[in-house]
Each structure stands twice: as structure tokens, then as C-alpha cells.
Chain A
Amino acid sequence: MPLKRQLVQAGRHAAIILLGLAMLYPVLWLILSSFKPNQLIFTDSSLIPTAFTLDHYVNGWKGLQGISFGRFFSNSLLISALSVIGNVISCSLAAYAFSRLKFKFKSLWFSIMLVTIMLPYHVTLVPQYILYNELQWINTYFPLILPKWLAQDSFFILLMVQFIRGIPRELDESATIDGCGQPQIFFRIVVPLLVPALITTAIFTFIWSWDDFFSQMIYLSKIDLFTVQLGIRSLFDPSGQSDWGALLAMSTLSLLPVTIIFLVFQRYFLEGIATTGLK
């Protein structure tokens, strides 16, 4: 019996590992192929490169029309960082009001907020574009960042509301007795305890704005403003004339920031998803 159990266990592990490898194969292929010389990328089907080169990274980094990928990376980082700060601040403010304060029409606003979570982006797309066009904000980063500073990713408000509801109210009450006003309760008591939810918000905002190809494509057409996603899309020519080595090398690099953040903050990540059902 124990032997049979062990066999079953081993079989289960084997199946899970095999499936895991199959799942990771595309990513591994991307990374390893980016080190293969051009003529081997599509002919050499083995994962491990038989010849090794860094040329693609050097060539790819040169970028497009004299603008290097370094520029695209710093552009993407700037957008993502400003989005993260905006979301963390504006969503936590709104979440505090919804979870702790009494005010008129609270339940109405709260249900409106819930509905906006499900609203497709495209319904507001055209008028928003017209608005930003009127403001002469096309080919600036404002259209990508402003919504975050105005708490338009309502999902994170909900995440934080749920989190704040779990913070004992006695803490607020004793602070009130000590003479703290609402802003002080927010900054001194709620924010420090809210940190895990803020980190979850920060990492998801970072990843989503890093990958937000659609808005970047609509609002940015000047090459010196390009993001990593736009840079890669421009290296890639669907009709088949792409420099595949450079493309794969830059693609590999583009996945790096997101992967690093994931590995560092794994705990917040997986807990965040599990408790709120993100993405």
C-alpha cells in the first residue's frame, strides 16, 4: 500500500512537472533563442543553443531611427512609476471614504463605483481621445497617467475597501478620543496597516501599465516617446522581414521588469489574486 501511494504521488509530481515545462516552453524558447545566431533561430529546434551570441542584444538595443531601446525602457518606467503612485494615492483616499466615513449618497456612489469596474474601456475611448486632443495632450503621457491619479481603476478601490473593513474599528475610535481628525486617522492608522493592499495595487498597476499596448498605441506616435511595447511592435514586421534576433532579444528584456517584480513580491501577488480575484 505505501509503495502504491508513493507511486501515485510520484506520478502526480511527474505529470505536474511535465505540464509545467510545457507551459514554460514558449518563454524558455524566447529567452534561449535570443542568444542563438540568426541562422540557427528557426533551424535549430533544440532549446539549448549550440552557438552563443550576444549580438542580438547589441543590435536590438540600438532601437529604431536612432532612438535606443534604453529610451523606450526609461519611457515605460516613467509611465509605470507615475501610474503606480497615482493609483496608490487616489484609490486609497477613495477607499477610506467608502469604508470608514458616513456621507450622503454613499451607497449610490459605491454601487456606481462597482459598476465602473465592469465598464469596457472602449465605451469612453473616443470621447476621451477627443478630449485629450482638444487639450493637445496627444503625444504626451497625460492620457496614460491622468486616469490613475483620478482613481479610475476602481478595482483597486474595491480591493482596499475590503482590506480596510478588516482593520478593527477600535483603533479609529481610540484615535478619535485622542483627538485625531479623519485625515490623521487615515495617515497614521489606516495607511500603515493598509501597506499589503497598497503593494498589491502597486505591482498590478505596474504590470498593467507596462503591458498597456492599446492606449500607448493610440496616444503615442512620436518615436522618442515610444514605450517598450511600441518599440517591439515596430521592430516586428508581420509580413516577415523582421530582424528576428533583435526582436527576440528585446522581447526577452521587455519581460524582465515584470518578472523581477513578480519574483520579489510573490507573496503579495498570489495573496492579492486569491483574496480579490484580480485579473
Chain B
Amino acid sequence: MQLEYFQMIDRVVEMDLDRRTIRIEAIVPEKSTVFEGHFPGHPLLPGTLMIEAMAQSLGFLTLNVLEWARVPLLTGVTKAKIRRFIEPETTLLIDATLLQDGQGYAVGEAEISHNGKRVANASLSYVVTPFPSEVMKSALLEVKERILNA
């Protein structure tokens, strides 16, 4: 993870496009400016960034299901729970499932775990649109190369 750059996912462990599932590894960094404020003397990964990590994991799966023809942009978070506090240098697993994709939308679920214990989970929805920018698409393709080959 590079929290300052919203790079929340580090490595694809498994991806099954037929079953529409993905497992991602994400390692919370030892140091980050985020921890200077959250919290002084007691660094914790913000719950909002856990949501972002789940959203990026399911988003990456959706991009691949859609064969990179369109991009999913997060529009809804429901049934979200932050169940454990996460400290720096923790290795997280993120499992996501794409449950339904229709014309212009995608919906799924994701869960973060650590050492077999559930850390957070949420239902997520996206609007699925043409890439608004070639720069954005190129940047996301770089992410693809990074996390598929890590």
C-alpha cells in the first residue's frame, strides 16, 4: 500500500473470471503521513481506507471481467463494517466477488481478513462508464502490470 497515492492493493493472489472472484494481498506500510494524524502515538489504518481497498479490489476484478472496455467508479457502500483495528506492517487479504453487472453498473461484495479473522466487509456498487481519460486508463494499466506481476 502507498496510502498517500491511494495505491491500496499490492498483489493479485488469485483471480477467477468465470466465478468472478479475486483475492488480493495488501501490506500496510510501516510509515505513512496518514499515520501522523491517524493517530499521533497510535497509528491505525483508517476505516475509510479499508473501504477504499475493498473498492479497488472489486473494481480491479470488474475491469478484468469487462476486459478493460469500461471503468467502474464507486457509487455506493452499504452494509459496511469495520471489525478490527489494523496497525502498520500488517498483511491483509482482500476477497471480492462480483455479484451482478448490468448495463452501466456493477455490484458486489468484499471482505478484508488478517490471519483468518475478518477485519472489514462491505457491499459495493459502481457506475460503469467509458474511460473518461486515456491518462487514467494508462495509469490503471500500469497498476495492472504492477499487481499481476508482483
Q: Does B associate with A?
A: no
Chain A residues at the B interface, C-beta cutoff of 8 Å: none
